[in-house]
Chain A
Amino acid sequence: MISLRLISPRLISPRRLAIPLALVLVGATTTVASADVQESPKVVASCDQKVEPGHFTCFAQRRADLGFRTRSAGAPTGYGPVDLQAAYKLPSASAGQGQRVYIVDAYDDPTAEADLAEYRKQFGLPACTTENGCFQKLNQDGQSSPVPAPSRGWSGEISLDLDMVSAVCPHCGITLIEANSASDDLLAAVKTADRLGAKFVSLSWGGPESADLAELDRTYFNPRGVVYAASTGDSDYDAGVSYPASSAATTAIGGTTLTKDDSGRGWTETVWNSFPGDGTGSGCSSVMTKPTWQSVIPAAVCPKRAVADVSAVADPATGVAVYQTTGGAGWAVYGGTSAAAPIVAAIYALAGDPDPASRPASYPYGVTGNLNDVVQGNNGECTPAPLCTARAGWDGPTGLGTPNGTRAVTSPTTGNRIAVDAPAQQFSAVGDVVVLRARATDSGRRPVRFTATDLPTGLRLDATSGIIYGRPTQPGTHSVTVTATDSTKARGNTVISWVVSTRKGARGVVNGDFEAGTGGWTQTADVIRTDGQYSHGGLGYAWLGGTGTTHTDSLSQRVSVPSFGRPGLRFALRIASDDTSAANHDALQLTVDGHPVRTFTAAQSRSSYVDQVVDLSPYRGRTVTLAWTSTEDDTTPTTFLLDDIAI
């Protein structure tokens, strides 16, 4: 049975296709039976595939026919971590500790961390949060704020990338770098990843080749010691080669259709090609010089850089489970070569550090027999045929094949490995004296030099000792990356989530007046505001409820209650509702370690803030979680505003 899809630039609707049988056969990857042509799943491209010169597009495709499934609708469909780890025989349970995969995408996904948490929780993966130092979200300058404008389309791409890295390497840290636009800003973000000390970078986007690619390569990519896994595109061979997949510095990642079967491997893979114009990209660069490791590809087939190098699952029909709430509404099934790139980037991370002197794109060519050779299918018609037709050995659509363990992407030589150690979280107040040392361990016992990005204003780093010192001068929330580099260019880094509170906001809690943004708090979406519209003082405040729907908001922080005196929790609270009667059941509950200690209702509505005091004496000397939770029904909205929280 053939699965056919007709793709328009962005929206792909299910249609019966009037395609000549020859074309159907070209598109067929399994048993062909023209009489069985059926309406196929509807697929939506996350990003507009029409790309202006100098711009890039993402290569994510979502199964529109499956829609989104809410959390309560049961287990998600699509391949999950167990499937991917089994299909590619990955040591995910034991490898990846201390590694960090960098994902470069365009625009902001405001729910990236929350969605990632849901994905990992669903599949039993360890939590990866800002708080525990695993997750990091940065703008293209390497700062935690301001983030770019949100994009629903690219948020699908970001969710896909985060989930795929999590599925393959659950012990890896993840840094998401969000570029301001899908143009040269993406390349600037790639350069930022290198500046941060990235070793594994996933690039699920691309655009047409232009004449200046060699210059772009020199400007933005580090050819040695950094893995760049770049998708080859979703529009078949005919679309031409995509950059940066055609970069000499990247490993070009093609796409397959991955199917469970009863073979010895337990899986079968063929070239992903749903129908003409919708399948993995491949080809021969018209610009980039052939890298030496591609000598296995005859010049008659491609005299320049040939694409792809390796491949992984990309067919939406055999797609992967993804959780997405920005531009989506829960569980979805995704495909596109955007799925394959983060999978391969994360497999490189499982394999360990690249030798800083090596070229990671060459690894798969150095050791044969450690990939699943894909020998069926094509992504178009071309001459010479290997550029678009699967065969034994290298071919354009799938490269050398798909991962079979990590050996094919393991550095053949071993360089120095540097581990950097520092606390995952730091809390300071404006004016505090700060002295914090980041320690580096170099396996080659060489001295290192430290650099840091996104340090709070007023702090400096001593490049030799790794000591961060000074007095922070402004409240804010920062994501500091401390990188250590030795003379062999080996490098390691660590991430510190650093919250600088105002003096007033640091009374027994972190950022109690919310002037430092969201730092220190765990919140549901958009609870903490910094517009000053309804603050008790300054710009920051917390807003729970006010939706007029059945809705719950929460705000919490883990705090240490003093062991002396009579500790009290103080905060300013304003309640606003048009219905202050007993019939309004909207409420705000304050809990300590889950135990309710105070409940506020709409009947306590006031036109201004009211100071509240709660005795914490029963919790003296303990570390407890303070949580404010609002519950609303679908009648009159009730708003609960909090500010100036202190102990």
Chain B
Amino acid sequence: MRLHAGRSAMALAGAVATAVLVGSGAGVATAQPAEPEFAPQSIVWPTPTDGYLLGGVQCGTAPCPAEVKASHDGGKTWMTAGRTHNGLAMSGEPGLTSLQFADKKFGWAYDPFLEVTRDGGKTWTQVPVPGGDARVLNLLAAPDGTYVVTSGCAIGTGVCDDRPLKVWRAPAGKFTGWKQLEVPVAAGDHVALDAEGSTVYFLTAPFNGPGRLSTLRNGTVRSTSTVTCADPEDAAIADLATNGPNRVFVLCMANYGHGHSDKTLLVSGDGGKTFRYDAVPGGLGLASQLAVAPDGAVMLTTVTASLVYNRPTLSNSWRVDQTWLENTAHIHDLVFQSGTTAWLVERDAAYTPDTRLWATHDAGTSWQQATVVPA
């Protein structure tokens, strides 16, 4: 079974992205010299037992070579699967930052470059960015195909002009035959996408204002709806997730600034046509990533204050544990492995060898630093 929940992809623009980059930059300034070793950067669980890590070796030097490790025992042990052609990318630099697998064989390393594996990460093939564009911003390895958001703006130029972004799809298991989709994405839009079976939810939103949610099947837009955050006059959409048929979750924040925001979780049972608004208590942190387990457990990360808010399954009560992080480092790649086990990565490996892998086995009640134990 592929765990789709939490395996969502997201691009941030504007101030939120700036906040992330500032966080990463702080990592550069404060990084301590360390032994050359594997530094996790991105983690994915295509099945509860099969996991993959993209990370760097001898990081702290530029460029930082990238390696992929695989676990087939639920994360107890990890073995080196292979190496990508490109190293890890710093912000605005060439290379790779993220990893996704559609199943335990077929996966992608991306952003801003694009590479594919069909043998569980042993060998990697460089793939031209679809349409001749300059970079990949988002990628979703969905069961029915791979969805990619690209930009024609050269790496490092940010939003270079008003040209819209492009959305592409390749059939499942293929890395050719890209077709551009009829999903409009403005140059500065946030993009978040996730899949439930063969249904892909594709959310685009300007930095401030309602988002547009497109529901796709086999690359065809089946319906669109508007997603409006609470306190919409000063709100931004941060992320999207799905955990079951027609069940869509959207993370919003409003009144943000000075490291605080009013976060709201939007919950839909009708594919995003209507939403219930669940306020997330606690203002600390700017909303970043959202992950929802199949049984309804919810976690969300924040930046500027590095926190993980969680709401366990069958609970109306939100919790946040801020004691286990240094509170300034960038946390990312929040992903559920199972209903109660989730992982995330602290810091960015392109900047420091001292990234950390964290895991929770009780849906976020407690977190333990995870070690990449060799098989």
Contact = CB atoms under 8 A, between A and B. Distances in A.
Interface of A: 47-48, 107, 110, 145-146, 148-153, 180-182, 526, 529-534, 539, 543, 545-549, 576, 637, 639, 641
Contacts of B247: 531-533
A613 B17 CA distance: 55
Given A546-B317, A639-B314, A149 B277 contact: yes
A425 to B, nearest CB: 23
B228 interface: yes
Interface in B108-162: none
Interface in B215-259: 228-234, 243-247
B184 interface: no
B269 interface: yes
Contact of B244 (A48, A146, A149, A533): A533
Contacts of A547: 316-317
B269 A533 contact: yes
Nearest to A533: B296
Nearest to B230: A150
Nearest to B255: A152
11 contacts: A149-B232, A149-B275, A150-B230, A151-B233, A531-B267, A531-B268, A531-B276, A533-B247, A533-B267, A539-B270, A546-B315
B273 interface: yes
* Residue in A47, A150, A547, A641 with the greatest tally of chain B CB atoms within 10 Å: A150
Contacts of B317: 546-549, 637
B338 interface: no
Nearest to A575: B314
Contacts of A145: 274
Contacts of B234: 48
A533 B269 CA distance: 8
B244 A148 contact: no
Contacts of B233: 47-48, 151, 153, 182
Contact of A146 (B267, B274, B315): B274
Contacts of A534: 296, 314
Given A182-B233, A641-B314, 4 more contacts: A149-B232, A529-B276, A547-B316, A637-B315
A417 to B, nearest CB: 38
A545 B315 CA distance: 8
B277 A576 contact: no
Given A545-B316, A639-B315, A150 B269 contact: no
A547 B312 CA distance: 11
Given A526-B276, A531-B268, A546-B316, A151 B244 contact: no
A381 B301 CA distance: 53
Interface of B: 228-234, 243-247, 267-270, 273-277, 296, 314-317
* Residue in B244, B277, B317 with the greatest tally of chain A CB atoms within 10 Å: B317
Given A546-B314, A637-B317, A180 B228 contact: yes
B231 to A, nearest CB: 5
B231 A151 contact: yes
B235 to A, nearest CB: 8
B246 A532 contact: yes
B269 A543 contact: no
A149 B230 contact: yes
- A-B pairs, top 10 by smallest CB distance, nearest first, are A531-B269, A149-B228, A546-B316, A576-B314, A548-B317, A146-B274, A532-B269, A539-B269, A639-B314, A533-B296
Contacts of B315: 546, 548, 637, 639
A482 to B, nearest CB: 25
B211 to A, nearest CB: 11
B314 A150 contact: no
Contacts of B246: 532
Contacts of B268: 531
Contacts of A107: 232
A621 B113 CA distance: 73
A181 B234 CA distance: 12
B277 A150 contact: yes
Nearest to B225: A146
Nearest to A148: B228
A546 B315 CA distance: 5
Contacts of B316: 543, 545-548, 637, 639
Contacts of B230: 149-152
A539 B276 CA distance: 13
Contacts of A549: 317
A144 to B, nearest CB: 12
A24 to B, nearest CB: 33
B194 to A, nearest CB: 16
Contact of B232 (A110, A151, A529): A151
Contacts of A146: 273-274
Contacts of B314: 534, 546, 576, 639, 641
A23 B52 CA distance: 69
B236 to A, nearest CB: 13
A529 B277 CA distance: 11
A149 B235 CA distance: 11
A266 B273 CA distance: 54
A182 B277 CA distance: 19
Nearest to A639: B314
Contacts of A637: 315-317
Contacts of A641: 314
* Residue in B230, B273, B276, B316 with the greatest tally of chain A CB atoms within 10 Å: B316
Contacts of A47: 233
B268 to A, nearest CB: 7
Contacts of A151: 230-233
Contacts of B269: 529-533, 539
Nearest to A151: B231
A26 to B, nearest CB: 32
Nearest to A149: B228
A531 B315 CA distance: 15
B274 A152 contact: no
Nearest to A182: B233
Nearest to A546: B316
A503 to B, nearest CB: 20
A547 B244 CA distance: 24
* Residue in B229, B247, B274, B315 with the greatest tally of chain A CB atoms within 10 Å: B315
A547 B316 CA distance: 5
Contacts of B273: 146
* Residue in A149, A533, A576 with the greatest tally of chain B CB atoms within 10 Å: A149
Nearest to B252: A149
Contacts of A539: 269-270
Contact of B231 (A152, A532, A548): A152
A179 to B, nearest CB: 11
A339 B229 CA distance: 27
A149 B229 contact: yes
* Residue in B233, B243, B269 with the greatest tally of chain A CB atoms within 10 Å: B233
A226 B316 CA distance: 45
A83 to B, nearest CB: 32
Nearest to B209: A181
A549 B274 CA distance: 29
Contacts of B270: 530, 539
B316 to A, nearest CB: 4
* Residue in A148, A532, A533, A548 with the greatest tally of chain B CB atoms within 10 Å: A533
A152 to B, nearest CB: 6
Contacts of A531: 247, 267-269, 276
A150 B252 CA distance: 12
